[in-house]
């Protein structure tokens, strides 16, 4: 999971889908990526069960899979934002 989130584009994509479902084209436009690259990243995140997809007509909307994923991302960002101290 952390290996997948180590890619800046995948991390940005999953963070963009924390609060609401977003379609591939909107994500591509928001981050100046091609729709095929966004789809590739989302496919990997979905295979790892970090994201889920919902078809609405011709578009597919992606959102974070569940509350567990939200908590992991929240804890991870809180931890990174903490002051670093020398704890040797």
* Domain parsing of the chain, residue ranges: 2-80
**Mean pLDDT of all residues belonging to the chain:** 91
Listed as ranges, residues in the chain with pLDDT below 50 are none
CB 60 within 8 A of CB 54: yes
CA pair distance 38, 22, nearest whole angstrom: 12
What's the confidence (pLDDT) of residue 86? Answer: 56
What's the confidence (pLDDT) of residue 84? Answer: 67
State the first-to-last Cα distance of the chain, in angstroms, to the nearest integer: 28
Class assignment of domain 2-80? mainly alpha
Strand partners, 46: none
CB 25 within 8 A of CB 84: no
Q: What is the pTM of this model?
A: 0.84
Name the CA dihedral angle for 76, 78, 80, 81, rounded to a multiple of 10 degrees. Answer: 160
């Amino acid at each position: 999971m952390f290996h997948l989130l180590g890619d800046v584009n995948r991390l940005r994509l999953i963070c963009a889908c924390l609060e609401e479902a977003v379609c591939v084209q909107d994500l591509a436009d928001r981050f100046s990526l091609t729709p095929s690259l966004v789809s590739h990243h989302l496919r990997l995140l979905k295979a790892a069960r970090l994201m889920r997809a919902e078809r609405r007509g011709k578009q597919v909307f992606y959102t974070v899979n569940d509350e567990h994923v939200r908590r992991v991302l929240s804890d991870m960002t809180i931890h990174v934002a903490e002051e670093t101290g020398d704890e040797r």
